């Protein structure tokens, strides 16, 4: 017989797997049709960040193994993050790469507001999850709070300055790398 945690994480894992599939399929399409794709490196950073966020969510879900009892509203709340991640994964790639030239810079600037909105939603969900379920300290929500404010403000103000978007991509990438380095011992799965 499986535990309640094992039961609920199966569905979470399926949704995360679908998101990773979207990302890997999108990358494979870009590679496969590289002669027709104009690369924009900040967009590639977002693709990488989304992939790492999927893996990170799967990894940190293990922290909920001692959470209980599970109720449907709690499960639906926990499920929101993987669902939003899946939508983000889909937003990062243009539909139908089969015709014409694909300019990822143009695609990025046509869609950055939606991408930023969904990442801001992820940051908000992370804050709520950290405070309500995982009982983290208030200082643990500072980084997601900064991300949420930065991306929401940029999207709402419709700021499309290339240097700002390059800076945001570098900032988020460095933040992720630094967070993983600082929290190295926290990213440990034990039985």
Helix residue spans in 33-103 (DSSP H)? 41-61, 72-91
Which residues neighbour 76 within 8 Å (Cβ) at sequence distance 6 or greater? none
**So what's the pLDDT on residue 3?**
87
Residue appearing with tokens 């600082």: 182
Nearest-10 crossing angle of helices 41-61, 162-182: 30
Q: What is the DSSP string of 108-123?
A: HHHHHHHHHHHHHHHH
**So what's the pLDDT on residue 146?**
87
Q: How far is the C-alpha of 53 from the C-alpha of 82, rounded, in Å?
A: 9
DSSP state of 168: H
In which residue ranges of the chain is pLDDT below 70? 96-98, 191
Convert the pLDDT of each residue in 2-32 to its tens digit.
Answer: 888 889 899 999 999 999 999 999 999 999 9
Answer yes or no: are the C-beta atoms of 83 and 15 closer than 8 Å: yes
Answer yes or no: are the C-beta atoms of 54 and 92 closer than 8 Å: no
**So what's the pLDDT on residue 145?**
86
**So what's the pLDDT on residue 98?**
60
Beta-bridge partner residues of 15: none
Answer yes or no: are the C-beta atoms of 84 and 118 closer than 8 Å: yes
Task: Please give the model's pTM, rounded to 2 decimal places.
Answer: 0.91
**So what's the pLDDT on residue 140?**
73
Beta-bridge partner residues of 103: 38
**So what's the pLDDT on residue 26?**
95
Q: How far is the C-alpha of 26 from the C-alpha of 83, rounded, in Å?
A: 18
């Amino acid at each position: 017989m499986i535990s309640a945690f094992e039961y609920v994480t199966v569905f979470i894992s399926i949704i995360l797997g679908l998101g990773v599939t979207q990302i890997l399929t999108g990358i494979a399409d870009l590679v496969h049709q590289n002669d027709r794709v104009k690369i924009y490196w900040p967009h590639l950073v977002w693709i990488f960040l989304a992939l790492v966020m999927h893996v990170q969510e799967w990894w940190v879900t293990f922290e909920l193994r001692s959470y209980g009892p599970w109720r449907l509203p709690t499960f639906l709340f926990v499920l929101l993050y993987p669902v939003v991640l899946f939508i983000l994964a889909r937003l990062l790639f243009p539909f139908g790469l089969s015709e014409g030239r694909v300019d990822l810079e143009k695609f990025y600037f046509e869609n950055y507001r939606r991408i930023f909105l969904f990442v801001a939603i992820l940051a908000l969900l992370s804050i709520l999850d950290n405070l309500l379920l995982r009982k983290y300290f208030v200082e643990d929500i500072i980084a997601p709070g900064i991300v949420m404010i930065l991306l929401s403000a940029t999207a709402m103000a419709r700021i499309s300055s290339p240097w700002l978007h390059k800076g945001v991509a570098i900032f988020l990438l460095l933040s992720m790398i630094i967070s993983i380095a600082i929290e190295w011992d926290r990213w440990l799965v034990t039985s």
